[in-house]
Structure 1
């Protein structure tokens, strides 16, 4: 393993230098760092490691080539996510819809209060326009897969919450499909109360947990 350290360090230095040349892109109003650069660094380090561990006797050259290829691929993914997040934020008319760019995916979070009435899976009329704007954005970036995931708080029984979250996810996915997003790209399912983002012991926490997430991943 010690023999691999030098080529990996060499590749890493090249990745950091390459990432420094990548254009910065920030989504207004969102805590979004430079995901293009992040993707380049992560992809480059992975590519460099895989190249260095190749068994053809050319670990140094493989590490550098792998790092360069990985950096370019990772940078391209990060750049596409930056652009898609920026376009989506500009198209939405509701500041309560949150967009998080993790560097490998976009997570669009819509709280229950703007989507549904109490104990209901019927989408409010006021959100139809934003959901159709989301669908338009997805169609502008067709090389992505989409997961629509429903979540609830812990009030009520686990089985009821799972059913409600599933029906809500299906309702959101249905609008996306009706607006022209290809069915092969969209999956929907509920998580019930299993993945809280806040405490269920407070009113504010329960409100945060009742949500639908649309997760957009490059593919």
Structure 2
């Protein structure tokens, strides 16, 4: 039996995103695609990342030690454009260009925890964006496949993930509605953008007892 975790996730996602949507729409046109903080010093942001995990994530109920450690170790500032680097560990999504955003840290942690992953899991992510969610998944599972419909984002994320050493992540270009049949079936599927309904092709690509987290509504 496939277990789909949708309604609660959708409510939380929509609630968290509503407050920021206006400012995001206004500012996305100012982003220079590809101008990401590749040279930023990890140590400079260590305290901010530690505080993010403690104050934004752990204190709000995320308790999976592996998820907390992944959130603590992945340098979110390297997945945001340079102009937003000082806000990389803020408790909100940020524009990454092409009308897309990097998700709020708490939402990333929440969706990851709900997937209930293990070291042998193979995961499909629909909506690569800057690659941050895939980077969080990487140390938790055996293999991550991530697909993005916007070629420019897919290509830059693939380079970024490789440069940062996330070698068990494969990034591809395509319409995530149809999943990634070449690599199916998956133990878990995570969809990072709201959908009007659950795409049937994704259900077909889940293993028995697989888990899908998707915001619907």
TM-score, scaled to structure 1: 0.30
Q: Normalized per residue, which structure has more helix?
A: 1
Q: Which has the larger radius of gyration?
A: 1
Taking CA–CA contacts closer than 8 Å with sequence separation of 6 or more, which of the two structures ends up with the larger relative contact order?
Answer: 2
TM-score, scaled to structure 2: 0.30
Q: Normalized per residue, which structure has more strand?
A: 2
